[in-house]
Structure 1
Amino acid sequence: MMADGPLGHSALAGIRVLDFTRYQQGPYATVLLSDMGAEVVKVEEPGGEPGRANGRGPDGFSAYFEAHNRGKQSITFDLRIEDARAAVRRLIPHFDVVVENFRPGVMERWGLGYEDLQALRPDIILASGSSWGRSGPWAERPGYDHVGQALSGVMVEQGGGPGRPPHALIGGFADQIGAMLLAYGVACALVVREREGIGQHVDVSLISAMTAVQAMPITRFLRTGEQRGFEERRAATYTHYECADGRYVAIAANTQAFWERLCEAIERPELREDPRFRGPFDREANKAALVAVFEAQFRTRPAAHWLERMTAADVPNAPVLDYAGLAEHPQFWANGYLQEIETPNLGRMRVPGPAVHMSATPSRVQGGGPELGQHTESVLLAAGFSWAEIQTLRESGATRTV
């Protein structure tokens, strides 16, 4: 399926990415590049990258692998073998970007560090996803999402602040934010290459991502020394409430005008003139009292009643959905945030669509996850390898799949 914008292609069409990443942070970064039109060739070890086995069902479906590797090609190399490393070095001039998320030093030991790659293609872009960054005393330590969250302060923040039990965010949160920033870094490096004619080494770590996503509370702490921690109800008018049918509705009445409309919508107009709640500072000072009023009021009617009234009053609101509710909600389908795709190995699938829309160069899902080693021969042939060379690589074990 071709992109349907006026230019007939996606933003990164023609950009080739050699993807050495595994698990989540790096693989989702390259999914984002694929959605923008890049050709992503995933380099896997014999047996496949570990993410393939995560939650794999009898039909071969792994949500973990599909979510983080859709729209890619797959080639296999046993990088412990010199023939495989030599073949990779021959591929480098044919690619614009190399992405990896090994522990710092691994690519260098294979002769595939940034300086090595630069010697093969001077304007190459190397993007590295790490746990702790490439400098400092923790640089070479192993790490994954959960320990990245731990060091970043977010678990204490989410748990309610210092002195309270820590609470992790949804699994893979640091990975996903790190992936988005790594893809952002690649896009910026491509702009620099277009303008200046140079490549560069891009690095994003799990803790850099978690520092970025906590910019406001960390900025406050660095100035005041105060870490407030997560509050279940940030404000009485910026939270969610249970209704008579056990469903929850969320409200975000964060201006005086929305407050006044909310009072009408929930059939309590007299609250507007209650001196405890009249202005925003009054409502903050008497938050517990207002929460109690709202909790009692929302429980008098089912969620649909309140959602209809608040929508009619133009008060920001939404039902609190689970994934089943999300999958049925028309807003996600209307914007392509959920899509159906055809895959050769798993049939028709519903998947999350691209989050970024572009009017002239639309993004699109380029397909499902690849079969292991599915594209090894075609990628090597396109890079100028002969059939005899491909056979030699196969016989040496350099491209074996198991």
Structure 2
Amino acid sequence: MSLPLEGIKVLDLSRYLPGPLATQILADFGAEVIKIEDRKGELGRFLPPMIDDTSARFYAVNRNKKSMGLDLKQSEGKEIFKKLVAEADIIVDQFRPDVMSKLGLGYETLKEINPRIIYCIITGYGLTGPMRDAAGHDINYLNISGITELLGTKEGPPAMSGVQIADTAGGSLYSVIAILLALAAREKTGKGQLCDVAMMDGALSLLSYTIGEWSGGGNLPKRGNELLTGGYATYNNYECKDGKYVSLGAVEAKFWASFCKKIGKEEYIPLQMDITRQPELEASIQSIMLTKTRDEWVEFFADSDICFTPVLTLDEMAQHPQVLAREMIHTLPDFQGSGKDLVCTGVPIKLSETPGEAKMVFAKTGQHTDEVLAGLGYSTSQIEQLRKDGVV
């Protein structure tokens, strides 16, 4: 069975998280992804914690890829890259704007070599606007997009997100979407194009429902005070007797009614959306939740259709029956003899006819350099000379 992206070649210049996760998704569905790395390896390889000499985080977003060490600052390195571009379909660039252009390898140059090339550049703030060249990280993109101000509890300060929302949802996922859209367009036009993906833009777009709430209500949403952010008893987290937590997501009236009946508080049913009674309802439900442990409550509501779940830690999540059934966690025991287990996420997109494959193959730095060069027509002696010259 062929995968949907078989025959598509990707040159991956990205590092750390946004680009590597995007290209891993492409690789899982059959694309040939060649990581073009610094000869010593991309910086993400050295980000603690380590498994032997490589970052565990690197393994998490770089399976199913090839690796080529190449110095793009040397003229011979540039020529090799241009030859690769002539045969490639996609380039993923995560440098700041103009870095590749200053090397003489920007989109305008490369599209002359290959008019079908799809060039996806992932930046913090995009290729236009006053912050075009500003440095940033996930926290900064979330701040500017308006997300951070909405994270946290009613009385507390803006909270840090436990995951890199802008990097992954704003950068990785939108890059995959952009690339697939450009591939679809190329089928019609025969031409590639530039995909300008800004992590701030992507993060901001996740606020669609929240902005709708703001527009319709006329008031700025307040941290921890709205229906879906902890302001109502019907949609909230509650601490249990053992210090662990459960979540109630009973937004619909039928779920709320079932919950209230189950805990013996039918008088709360008509008060679900009464904003003036929410502090009272929350306090009452919280006191009830403190009478049992988290798992006792999960068992208590096991037969109730009310959107009630435990708040799990990562190790608990990795063993949850639903996660296992969906093959969303892959654990490699004693990975490479390190004494540590490598845990990676599975393929989140389930296709009935051409499902993705998480092969769990990880390339060493420059492992495929000779193979790639030979594919371009370089002889063994030429490859040896390039290595002596520090080009590869």
TM over 0.5: yes
| Partner in structure 1 of residue 98 of structure 2 | 105
- Percent sequence identity is 31
The superposition leaves residues 284-318 of structure 1 with CA deviations (integer Å, 9 ceiling, x where unpaired) of 43111111211111122232332223221222111
2:40 aligned residue (35, 44, 47): 47
Moved more, 34-43 or 383-392: 383-392
- SS in structure 2 of the partner of residue 22 of structure 1: coil
Moved more, 109-118 or 199-208: 109-118
Partner Cα distance (1:94, 1:346) in 2: 38
Partner Cα distance (1:298, 1:250) in 2: 11
1:66 aligned residue (45, 48, 59): 59
- SS in structure 2 of the partner of residue 287 of structure 1: helix
Partner Cα distance (2:163, 2:7) in 1: 34
- SS in structure 1 of the partner of residue 352 of structure 2: coil
1:259 aligned residue (256, 261, 279): 256
CA RMSD after TM alignment: 2.3
| Partner in structure 1 of residue 111 of structure 2 | 118
| Partner in structure 2 of residue 37 of structure 1 | 30
| Partner in structure 2 of residue 241 of structure 1 | 238
User: Is the contact between residue 294 and residue 310 of structure 2 (CA under 8 Å) also seen in structure 1?
Assistant: yes
User: Is the contact between residue 149 and residue 168 of structure 1 (CA under 8 Å) also seen in structure 2?
Assistant: no
Partner Cα distance (1:47, 1:323) in 2: 32
1:377 maps to 2:348: no
Larger RCO: 1 or 2 (CA < 8 Å, sep 6+) = 1
User: Is the contact between residue 335 and residue 342 of structure 2 (CA under 8 Å) also seen in structure 1?
Assistant: no
1:92 aligned residue (85, 89, 107): 85
Structure 2: which amino acid aligns with 1:169?
A: S
Give the TM-score normalised by structure 1: 0.89
Partner Cα distance (1:235, 1:157) in 2: 15
Runs of at least 5 residues in structure 1 that lack an aligned partner in the other structure: 1-7
Partner Cα distance (1:257, 1:221) in 2: 26
Runs of at least 5 residues in structure 2 that lack an aligned partner in the other structure: none
| Partner in structure 1 of residue 381 of structure 2 | 388
Give the TM-score normalised by structure 2: 0.91
Partner Cα distance (1:193, 1:286) in 2: 57
Partner Cα distance (1:225, 1:243) in 2: 34
User: Is the contact between residue 27 and residue 65 of structure 2 (CA under 8 Å) also seen in structure 1?
Assistant: yes
1:212 maps to 2:205: yes
User: Is the contact between residue 145 and residue 171 of structure 1 (CA under 8 Å) also seen in structure 2?
Assistant: no
| Partner in structure 1 of residue 223 of structure 2 | 229
User: Is the contact between residue 107 and residue 113 of structure 1 (CA under 8 Å) also seen in structure 2?
Assistant: yes
| Partner in structure 2 of residue 326 of structure 1 | 317
Moved more, 233-242 or 36-45: 233-242
- 1:331 to 1:32, Cα distance in 2 relative to 1, 3 A: same
| Partner in structure 2 of residue 4 of structure 1 | none
- SS in structure 2 of the partner of residue 312 of structure 1: coil
- 1:160 to 1:341, Cα distance in 2 relative to 1, 3 A: closer
Paired residues for 1:165-314 under 5 Å = 165-177=157-169, 178-221=171-214, 224=218, 226-231=220-225, 233-266=230-263, 268=264, 271-272=265-266, 274=267, 277-282=269-274, 284-314=275-305
The superposition leaves residues 266-292 of structure 1 with CA deviations (integer Å, 9 ceiling, x where unpaired) of 2x1xx32x2x6415433x431111112
